[in-house]
Homo-oligomer: A and B are copies of this chain.
């Protein structure tokens, strides 16, 4: 199925205990499409300034990312810089320069408007709604958001939630949005406002999928080294939506569970190198191998009587 992503295409300067990357490829649309294009063709809508090293995006094009919706605007590209603490569990933003992103008004090319799957990266909810007004009949819409929008664009965000099938947030955002510390109650609060599905990401502690009929837990993949956590959430979304795009069929709960696993797999690969580097040579064989590792890490059976409900 066709898959559209709208989000930021940025240049990140990142410092971790392992080193520093300057003006590296970043942004939600970049990470998302680097991950999802392993599974299926991707349509990207975003904006870069005239300083952007567009040649560096060529590997995306070669992997089936249609960059026809990448707008080139005069001015500076979106730049973010941050530094991670020693255990990589938190980070400080040193600088955010929006540049051309400040005036970003997504224009969905005509050829993209019949897309079946839409991922709305973390941008102003006004713009996310604007994207939904431009696409015709998407089969499944997922969106991300952040603390800033929950703070200053809460009403528009709630308008948006009525129109999406899946919201992906981290645990802090779920708590902030719902005003409830308990994640089970927070999930119900959010799902009462629109999304049939909710994914709460908990970093190294994994991810929780809430569906109309139940809940599914995926662990965090145990890595000996987390090199750079930047983009893990967007890579997760890319693996999730990428799996839905390639499987294409029922989108039932079993598909959603599998998609969470592929999200977790892509998120875990994202952090193994700076920027999108790990995706450049990542193969589907490696993806499937790690998906099997997730199965091996979580599978168990119950004693016969117990399992049968005797």
- Hey, which bits of chain A sit against chain B, CB under 8 A? 86-87, 181-185, 202, 205-206, 208, 214-217, 219, 222-226, 247, 254, 257-258, 260-261, 288-289, 291-292, 295-303, 305-307, 309
Contact = CB atoms under 8 A, between A and B. Distances in A.
Contact of A219 (B86, B206, B309): B206
A215 B214 CA distance: 25
Given A181-B86, A185-B224, A297-B216, A288 B309 contact: yes
Nearest to A214: B296
B298 A302 contact: no
A87 B183 CA distance: 11
* Number of copies of chain A assembled together: 2
A183 B221 CA distance: 11
A248 B202 CA distance: 36
A180 to B, nearest CB: 10
19 contacts: A87-B181, A182-B225, A183-B222, A184-B224, A202-B205, A205-B205, A205-B206, A206-B219, A216-B297, A216-B298, A216-B300, A217-B297, A219-B219, A257-B299, A258-B300, A258-B301, A288-B309, A291-B306, A299-B299
Contact of A247 (B205, B214, B257, B303): B303
Contacts of A306: 288, 291-292
B297 A215 contact: yes
Contacts of A226: 182
B184 A222 contact: yes
A216 to B, nearest CB: 6
A219 B222 contact: no
A199 to B, nearest CB: 14
A240 to B, nearest CB: 13
B206 A217 contact: yes
A258 B288 CA distance: 26
Contacts of A292: 302, 306-307, 309
Given A291-B306, A292-B309, A309-B292, A254 B301 contact: yes
Q: Which of A181, A202, A288, A305 has the most CB of B within 10 A?
A: A288
Q: Which 10 A-B pairs have the closest CB atoms?
A: A217-B219, A257-B300, A205-B205, A288-B306, A184-B222, A87-B181, A298-B298, A184-B224, A217-B297, A291-B302
B295 A300 contact: yes
Contact of A258 (B289, B303, B305): B303
Nearest to A220: B217
Nearest to A284: B306
Given A184-B224, A216-B300, A298-B298, 20 more contacts: A87-B181, A182-B224, A182-B225, A184-B222, A185-B224, A202-B205, A205-B205, A205-B206, A208-B222, A216-B297, A217-B219, A217-B297, A217-B298, A219-B219, A257-B300, A258-B301, A260-B300, A288-B302, A291-B302, A295-B300
Contact of A261 (B206, B288, B302): B302
